[in-house]
Each structure stands twice: as C-alpha cells, then as structure tokens.
Amino acid sequence: MNPASEATPRVLILGGTGEARELARLLTEKQIRVITSLAGRVADPRLPVGEVRSGGFGGAEGLREWLVSNGIDAVIDATHPFAARITSNADAACRAAGTPLLRLLRPPWRPEPGDRWESVPDLDAAAALLGGADRRILLTTGRQDVARFAGVADAWFLIRVVDPPTGALPARHEILRSRGPYHLAAERELLAANDIDTLVTKNSGGEMTRPKLDAAHELGIRVIVVERPQEPAATPTVDDPVAAAAWVSELAQLGR
Ligand code: NAP
C-alpha cells in the first residue's frame, strides 16, 4: 500500500450490495480501515459495519480526486452488476490515481433445463417483447428502470420495488413495495395469486432474489432475463467477498 499512508491500509468499497456489506464485515474483522460508499438513492439503506459515505463523487475525475485526498490505498468495486456507470468511473479513476482496483462481481444466474427463459441484451429489448391485453407481468428490474416499460400500453404490470418509482409508469399497473431476501413459498404464492404469466428480471445473480426464478420454473412461467452490461476488461475480478478480502490482505502484506 502507499508508503505515505498510515500503517493500517484504508480501503474504499463501492457498495450498495449484500456482498459489499459482507466484505466490510470481513475487512473490519481483519482490522483494515474500511469506508463504504453508497449512491444515496435508497431512502432507508441497509448499512454495512464501518464508516459510510453517501452520494456521487462527480464522475471519474471527482472520484480520482476523492481517492487522493482521502488517502485511499485500494478500491473494491462491489456495486451491483447493472451499475455500469460507477464501475466505468472506478476503472478510469483508479487508473488515473494509480490505486489498485478489484471488481467483486457475483456470478450470473444460468438457465436450468425446463426453464422458459428468453435472454435479451437490455431493458428496451425486454419491453419490446411484452404487450398483449391478457398479459400479466411481474416486473422486478428496479425503480429506476420502470419508465422503460411505460410504453407497453395493454399488459398489466405488478411492479415490485423497494422505493416508489418516480418516472412514467405503464397504464395498467399495481406497485408492490418490498425488499428481499425472498423465499420460494412466498414467491410461488405471489406469482399464482396474481396470475402472472411473465416475469421480467435483470440477470443480477445471487441468492437473495433467486427464489422468483425457482418459482417461475415450477409454475412454467416465461422469464425475460435482461443480461448484464459489459465490464471493464482489464479489472481483476473475483466473485465472492472472501476472495476480495484475501486480495486486500495480500496487498497489505506486499506493502503496496
Ligand atoms: P450507476 O448508474 O452506475 O451510477 C450512476 C451514478 O451514481 C454514478 O455515476 C455515481 O455518481 C453514483 N453512484 C453509483 N453508485 C455509487 C456508489 N456506490 N457510491 C457513490 N456514488 C455512486 O449506478 P445505479 O445503477 O444507479 O446504482 C446505484 C447504486 O445502487 C449502486 O451503489 C449499486 O450497487 C446499487 N444497486 C443498483 C442496482 C441496479 O439494478 N442498477 C440494483 C441494486 C443495487 P458520480 O458520477 O457523481 O460519482
């Protein structure tokens, strides 16, 4: 780590995920000084242990300045697989500042035999596959993306979100406010009780929101899966918090 910094390394975790919270816990246990950054969009976020800051940095250049002025020795980008802008900014800022960067990225979900999955590259492609007066859709792509489905005029949407969506909404919808983790029995009940025929999801991966896929599999429901945006090619990547914590320990031992 930076020789000018104090003996204990100071690590920035770009957060907003369960993996980021788990990593903050693991590093704190190792006596490593952690600051987790949140975008500040969720009204009542789940907070990690350790120091927390909230709000944007002002693009890649703002993040670079922040890293330098806060004496950050290493960055772990543990943001959601679909948070592409902050991931790209982290890549550019760390390269400019010469700060080691690791991407912590949970594995994507994969279809299993019998799944009725249709993979699409982005949200607009998902919206283009919807429509039809008798369609009943469970939309789980998140509050910020609901407006992309506003033009689907005739289908009915059950829109599941943590905080209420702010933009345009499809004409026929109901908002369901809830936050995971979810469980198979309740997901099965939700799909059946609302007579859902199509589930729309991002390929977020992870266990907390996976049960909707298992319930859709059991009930033979069509699933439209929005695949992930591309990651910066050069960033070293691990898929679990334990491996990310080991990377930090190794850097600290190397005295980087
Ligand atoms: P995004 O589109 O990649 O980022 C938009 C802007 O928000 C960034 O340019 C940055 O602003 C700010 N930002 C994002 N994450 C930040 C963080 N951890 N700390 C400080 N600033 C951050 O991100 P997003 O998709 O809106 O996601 C926002 C947050 O929600 C992320 O932390 C992500 O892990 C979490 N999340 C996202 C999703 C999803 O589906 N996208 C799902 C679950 C959780 P500046 O340019 O001003 O720095």
Q: Whose CA is nearest to atom 26 of ligand 1?
A: 83
pTM for the full predicted model:
0.93
252 CA to centre of ligand 1 in angstroms: 27
Work out the percent of the chain whose per-residue pLDDT is above 70.
Answer: 96
Whether pLDDT at 124 is above 50: yes
pLDDT digit string (tens) for 24-79? 999 999 999 999 999 998 888 999 999 999 999 999 999 999 999 999 999 999 99
Confidence of residue 190 (pLDDT cuts 50, 70, 90): very high
Please tell me if the CB atom of residue 84 comes closer than 6 angstroms to any atom of ligand 1.
Answer: yes
The DSSP line for 90-139 is HHHHHHHHT--EEEE-PPPP---TT-EEEEESSHHHHHHT---TT-EEEE
Nearest to 205 by CA among 121, 122, 115, 108: 108
Q: How far apart are CA 137 and CA 157, in angstroms?
A: 5
pLDDT, residue 4, reads 42
| Span 231-255, average pLDDT | 92
pLDDT-based confidence at 227, cuts 50/70/90?
Answer: very high
Which stretch of 204-213, 227-236, 246-255 has the lowest confidence by average pLDDT?
Answer: 246-255
- Looking from the CA of residue 141, the nearest atom of ligand 1 is 40
Per-residue confidence (pLDDT) for residue 255, from 0 to 100: 66
Rounded to the nearest integer, the mean pLDDT of the chain is 94
Ligand 1 centroid vs 145 CA: distance in angstroms? 13
How far, in Å, are 48, 99, 164, 209, 219 from residue 178 at the CA level?
Answer: 20, 37, 10, 12, 22
Ligand 1 pocket residue status of 82, Cβ below 6 Å: yes
C-beta separation of 1 from 251 below 8 A: yes
pLDDT at res. 68: 97
Q: Would you state the pLDDT for residue 7?
A: 61
Residue ID of nearest Cα to ligand 1 atom 10: 56
